[in-house]
Chains A and B, each alone.
Chain A
Amino acid sequence: NAGVMQNPRHLVRRRGQEARLRCSPMKGHSHVYWYRQLPEEGLKFMVYLQKENIIDESGMPKERFSAEFPKEGPSILRIQQVVRGDSAAYFCASSPQGGGNTEAFFGQGTRLTVV
């Protein structure tokens, strides 16, 4: 039973390029969360998705960032026209359902470096 899989583990992009981060939730999990962590800082919530549905995107920057979780395939966090300040670790977590006493499980993260 594979855990949450994120790829790539490390991603280097030049300023202005696009970054695509992928997250495959654990089997049977239909809820996905994306968090960003800057060096020496805590986890910052970005977006919460169900299959084909954005539940909460209050943590997403208004421009350049988007996320999706299609019916088939992984969840994608997309960052357009990356800037140096986007360099961070991006973690994805999944949970089996909404509501109730359900914990989330994290992937190993994607470390984005913008040069």
Chain B
Amino acid sequence: RKEVEQDPGPFNVPEGATVAFNCTYSNSASQSFFWYRQDCRKEPKLLMSVYSSGNEDGRFTAQLNRASQYISLLIRDSKLSDSATYLCVVTSLVNAGNMLTFGGGTRLMVKP
């Protein structure tokens, strides 16, 4: 079983739609959680951190469920520019360091 799992998609949605991605992780000792966005052939960029209480940034809402070990990302009112791959990232302590583990990514395509 992979440490961090995501549905690879692609999710094809029309502009204005609401779309949700889930991500599950296997290490119950995981500490921090993030969503990154990666555009084609570019580096991943931090989209948002994910907190237990849930957090919102404009059209984006992230949720964490520690009991069930999953993280979600909700995008409302999708824009064409939201088309990208969304990466779930989980961190855990290792040898006093901070290991980042990436999911395989979920590809989103927003169409006019």
Task: Scan residues 55-91 of chain A and give those whose CB is less than 8 A from a CB of chain B.
Answer: 55-56, 89, 91
Q: How many chain-B residues does the 8 Å CB contact rule pick out?
A: 25
Contact for A43 among B34, B45, B46, B102, CB less than 8 A: B102
CA distance A109 to B38 in the complex (A): 12
23 contacts between A and B (CB under 8 A): A42-B102, A42-B103, A48-B97, A55-B97, A56-B97, A91-B43, A91-B44, A93-B44, A98-B93, A98-B96, A98-B98, A99-B31, A99-B98, A100-B31, A100-B32, A101-B31, A101-B32, A103-B32, A103-B49, A106-B43, A106-B44, A106-B45, A108-B42
| Chain B positions near chain A (C-beta within 8 angstroms) | 31-32, 34, 41-46, 49, 87, 91, 93-105
| Chain A positions near chain B (C-beta within 8 angstroms) | 31, 33, 35, 41-43, 45, 48, 50, 55-56, 89, 91, 93, 95, 97-109
Contact for A98 among B97, B102, B105, CB less than 8 A: B97
3 closest cross-chain pairs (CB), A and B: A42-B104, A98-B97, A106-B43
Q: Would A50 and B97 be within 8 Å (CB), given that A43-B44, A105-B46, A107-B43 are in contact?
A: yes
Docked-complex contact A102 and B98, CB < 8 angstroms: yes
CA distance A100 to B93 in the complex (A): 8
